[in-house]
Structure 1
Amino acid sequence: MTFWIITSLIALLIAGFLIAPLVRNRRAEESTAAYDLRVYREQLASVDRDLSRGVIAEADADRVRTEISRRILAADAQARTTEDAKGPPRTVSVIAVILLVLSLVGGALVIYRHMGAAGFPDMPLSARLAMAQDLRTNRPSQADAESMATPVAAPTLDENYAALLAQLRETVAGRPDDIQGHTLLAQHETNAGNFKAGYEAQTRVIELSDGGASAEAYADLAEMMILAAGGYVSPQAEEALQQALERDPEQGPARYYWGQMLAQTGRPDLAYRVWADTLRSAPPGAPWASAIRSQIDDLAFRAGVFNAPNLSSAPAMPGPSQEDMQAAADLTPEERQEMIQGMVNQLSDRLATEGGTPEEWARLISALGVLGDTERAKNIRDEALLVFSGNDAALEVIQIASQRAGLDQ
Structure 2
Amino acid sequence: MLIWIVFAAVATAVVASLLHPLASSHVRIDGGGDAGRVYRAQLLELERDVETDQLGRTEYDYARAEVARRLFRASEQQAEVLDSPSHAHRWPKLVIVAFLPLASIGLYELLGSPDLPSQPLQARLEDPGQNLAMLIVKTERHLASRPDDGRGWNVIAPVYLRTGRLPEAEIAYRNALRILGPDMDRLGGLAEALMAEAQGSVSADTLDVLRQILQLEPKNPRALFYIALSFEQAGRRAEALADFEALAKSSPAGAPWLSLVNKHIAANGGVPLIAVAREPRMTDQRGSQ
Q: With structure 2 as the length reference, what TM-score do the two structures score?
A: 0.46
